[in-house]
Amino acid sequence: MKDDELKDLLYKMIYLRRFEEKAGEMYTMGKFRGFCHLYIGEEAVAVGALSTIRDDDYVLASYREHAHCLIKGSDGGRVMAELFGKEMGVSKGKGGSMHLFDIEKNFWGGHAIVAGHLPLATGMGFAIKYEGKDQVVLCFFGEGSVNQGTFHESLNLASVWKLPVIYCIENNRYGMGTAVERATSLYDICQKACAYDIPNIHIDGMDVLNVKKAFEEAVKKAREEKAPTLIEAVTYRFRGHSMADPAHYRTKEELEEQKKRDPVETFKKKLMQKKVISEKDVKDIEKEIEEKINQAVEFADKSPEPPLDSLYEDLYIE
Amino acid sequence: MAIITFREAINQALKEEMQRDEKVFLMGEEVGFYHGAYKVSQGLLEEFGEKRVIDTPITEAGFTGVGIGAAMLGLRPVIEMMTFNFSILALDQIVNNAAKLRYMSGGQIKIPMVIRGPSGAAHQLAAQHSQALEAWYAHVPGLKVVIPSTPKDAKGLLKSAIRDDNPVIFMESELMYGLKGEVPEEEYTIPIGKGDIKREGKDVTIIAYSKMFHLAMQAAAELEKEGINAEIIDPMTIKPLDKDMIFESIKKTNRCVIVQEGWRFCGVASEISSLIYEEVLDYLDAPVSRVTGEEVPMPFAKNLEEAALPNKEKIIKAVKSVMYIDQ
């Protein structure tokens, strides 16, 4: 890989980290309410995966989706405005943190029923094939989703009908507060793909290059052979399930241990060791991102609330 | 006018819309090689092939969601529920995705899809196969609910539903698939959201749809012999409801009976009654009367099933009660 590409991956991961930290800060300050699920610790998954697709490929994610929306190309100010419930938000303030949609960028949500969007991703894959196109669909969800019926129904249909969909389990170890081994019969979750005769790839989701490599392979397969893949990216969330969760169900020692795998820090260190970037480069990146995020907050702050007469808009098409 | 069955009318609508628009496809359990559990899709696989007439596994949430996902990208799926009883397995997809994606994305997405199939009781299908669920779907903002009673209406409304850019729940009936009726030879559509005064009268308004409409017609014929002249409104669409047609009729007749097959509590009849009380109370000479299914899971035994459903006699009784005729 070229240095610029590596640098870009790092830039995006730092951007997500800082954006989410800011979102958490804004939530704590009372700038917005509702549920807010941060992606801190999982950045390598979205960044690595989305670096392998085209602008016209489709991405869907769960309610922990700020990252996927931003990396797919949405403007940070409009994402922050959506979190704030403002008119200039990507979903005009009607979706909020869990329902970011930016169709122009081919980011298709922001879905808050666990595994409820997997059939949608499957249907988008169906439409691509129906129309003879060559796009692919990337569908992200937590490991808690694999116990839902729609996970199994979707994988079965994608396999029977040969659809260009990549299903990605973001295994952050906890479905809310329930550890994966307490919830799922098969610890090696991606093996579930075998039941549907779908190839599966198990990866270290803390290593952005590892993620990228796995998705390159899956995307190629989806685009060229119209075939699905199940990828399990083993990651970890450093914050609670949502802003309301102090995460008492895990030990401090476990968290500290996992933080040694921090995808941003480890990749940064790696690039510095390889002399791809310098201390100064990192400082410059941090400074640039800080400014960008401050501007996003400013944009969100300035945006008006949605007008009251928009209450009944966007419901039916006349 | 040709005389065809309700089943043929649905089949013609599907066929014509599939010929007209390549983006229309039919998907569901047994729609292809089996020609539909109730033979509604007879001949479609042969004409349009497996690409557009798609047999699915038994996976209602899965294939309903696939339909929604395909609609998101601009296709116009017609998803067949073998019966609407099975749509309960897909309720999350319909309520949380089909109905809401447009709104919660701030209007960026459209879901031009139809979910259709038979609804309500047939003969002794027992508790899990005998449910009239239109009120469930009518409750949800973002959905339209269409429930025709004649072959002509079914064809015209299904064509409109397929052309509609919103998700439409389209309910048929096992017991009506063989029902014959006149259908225009030429191309036509019937607008969603408009009711139909199927029988003009002056003494009482009976509102009834789907199978209940036919019971109401039988009741009206009997009442006529006793000198009672009933007007019958078939709303055809439950959502959006043609309220004005109902209000105008009540202003004329001053009395109203509403018939629905589904359970009484929070039913379509409850909603229509409420609208009438809110808007045209002063025109009423008697409280609105509801004839509904009994609030029990459908029993299997023939006599109990009959007792659980509305019938002609129950409608006649309700009409006489709103007319204060001693019975």
> What's the pLDDT tens digit per position in B97-142?
999 999 999 999 999 999 999 999 999 999 999 999 999 999 999 9
Q: Is B60 a catalytic residue?
A: yes
Print burial letters for B205-240: b (CB count within 10 Å at least 16), e (below 16): bbbbbbbbbbbbbebbebbeeeebebbbbbbbbbbe
Whose tokens are 């029993």? That residue is B299
CA distance A94 to A126: 28
Q: What pLDDT, on the 0 to 100 scale, is given for residue B223?
A: 98
Q: Which two tokens stand for residue A213?
A: 């490599």
CA distance B118 to B174: 6
Q: What pLDDT, on the 0 to 100 scale, is given for residue B85?
A: 97
Print burial letters for A134-172: b (CB count within 10 Å at least 16), e (below 16): ebbbbbbbbbbbbbbbbbbbbbbbbbebebbbbbbbbbb
Domains in chain B, start-ordered, CATH in brackets?
2-183 (3.40.50.970), 196-322 (3.40.50.920)
Q: Is B129 a catalytic residue?
A: yes
* CA distance to partner chain B, nearest, from residue A14 (Å): 27
Q: What pLDDT, on the 0 to 100 scale, is given for residue B171?
A: 98
CA distance A162 to A159: 5
Q: Do B73 and A316 touch (CB under 8 A)?
A: no
Measure CB to CB from residue A160 to each of B57, B64, B92 and give the nearest one: B57
CA distance B90 to A192: 23
pLDDT tens digits, one per residue of B13-31: 999 999 999 999 999 999 9
Name every residue whose Cβ is closer than 8 Å to that of residue A79 and which is 6 or more positions away in sequence: A19, A66, A69, A70, A89, A90, A100, A296
Cβ-contact B234, B198 below 8 angstroms: yes
CA distance B318 to A254: 70
pLDDT at position A187 over 90:
no
Measure CB to CB from residue B104 to each of A95, A121, A125 and give the nearest one: A95
For residue A130, the Cα-to-chain-centroid distance in whole angstroms is 27
CA distance B155 to B287: 35
Q: Which two tokens stand for residue B189?
A: 């559509």
CA distance A238 to A245: 12
CA distance B49 to B45: 5
Strands B237-239 and B144-146: antiparallel
Q: Do A153 and B105 touch (CB under 8 A)?
A: no
pLDDT at position A180 over 90:
yes
- Average confidence (pLDDT) over B176-189: 98
CA distance A47 to A50: 5
pLDDT at position B327 over 90:
no
DSSP, res A232: E
Beta bridge partners of B263: B293
CA distance B204 to B217: 13
Using a CB-CB cut-off of 8 Å, the residues of chain A touching B165 are 317
* CA distance to partner chain B, nearest, from residue A189 (Å): 21
Mean pLDDT of chain A: 97
Q: What pLDDT, on the 0 to 100 scale, is given for residue A196?
A: 98
- Closest alpha carbon within chain A to B108: A103
Measure CB to CB from residue B66 to each of A90, A94, A122 and give the nearest one: A122
* CA distance to partner chain A, nearest, from residue B208 (Å): 26
Using a CB-CB cut-off of 8 Å, the residues of chain B touching A56 are none
Entry field: residues in chain B: 327
Strands B180-183 and B144-146: unpaired
Q: Do A123 and B65 touch (CB under 8 A)?
A: yes
CA distance B253 to B223: 15
DSSP reduced 3-state for B5: strand
pLDDT tens digits, one per residue of A258-305: 999 999 999 999 999 999 999 999 999 999 999 999 999 999 999 999
pLDDT tens digits, one per residue of A93-149: 999 999 999 999 999 999 999 999 999 999 999 999 999 999 999 999 999 999 999
pLDDT tens digits, one per residue of B203-260: 999 999 999 999 999 999 999 999 999 999 999 999 999 999 999 999 999 999 999 9
Give the pLDDT band (50/70/90) at residue A186. Answer: confident
Q: Fill in the amino acid letter for B97.
A: N
CA distance B48 to B323: 54
Using a CB-CB cut-off of 8 Å, the residues of chain A touching B49 are none
CA distance B176 to B149: 8
CB atoms closer than 10 angstroms to residue B48: 21
Strands B289-293 and A58-61: unpaired
Which among B27, B53, B73 is the top mutation candidate for probing chain A, defined by the most A β-carbons within 10 Å of its own β-carbon? Answer: B73
Name every residue whose Cβ is closer than 8 Å to that of residue B32 and which is 6 or more positions away in sequence: B41, B44, B45, B50, B53, B54, B55
Using a CB-CB cut-off of 8 Å, the residues of chain A touching B141 are 315
Could you give the ipTM of this predicted complex?
A: 0.97
Q: Do A89 and B106 touch (CB under 8 A)?
A: yes
Q: What pLDDT, on the 0 to 100 scale, is given for residue B167?
A: 98
Q: Is A209 exposed, middle or buried (0-12, 13-18, 19+ CB in 10 A)?
A: middle
CA distance B190 to A66: 44
- Average confidence (pLDDT) over B167-176: 97
pLDDT at position B323 over 90:
yes
Q: Fill in the amino acid letter for A167.
A: Y
- Average confidence (pLDDT) over A251-256: 95
CB atoms closer than 10 angstroms to residue A257: 11
Q: Point out the catalytic residue in the list B8, B17, B29, B60.
A: B60
Print burial letters for B111-144: b (CB count within 10 Å at least 16), e (below 16): bbbbbbbbbbbbeebeeebbbbbbbbbbebebbb
Q: Do A130 and B63 touch (CB under 8 A)?
A: no
User: Kind and range of the H or E element at A253?
Assistant: helix A252-259
Phi, psi of A214 (to 5 degrees): -65, -40
Name every residue whose Cβ is closer than 8 Å to that of residue A63 and which is 6 or more positions away in sequence: A35, A37, A97, A98, A99, A110, A111, A112
CA distance A8 to A209: 12
Name every residue whose Cβ is closer than 8 Å to that of residue A88 and which is 6 or more positions away in sequence: A77, A78, A81, A299, A300, A303, A304
pLDDT at position B326 over 90:
no
Question: Please, what CATH class does the domain formed by A3-302 belong to?
Answer: alpha beta
- Closest alpha carbon within chain B to A315: B103
- Closest alpha carbon within chain B to A306: B106
- pLDDT above 90 covers a percentage of chain B that reads 99
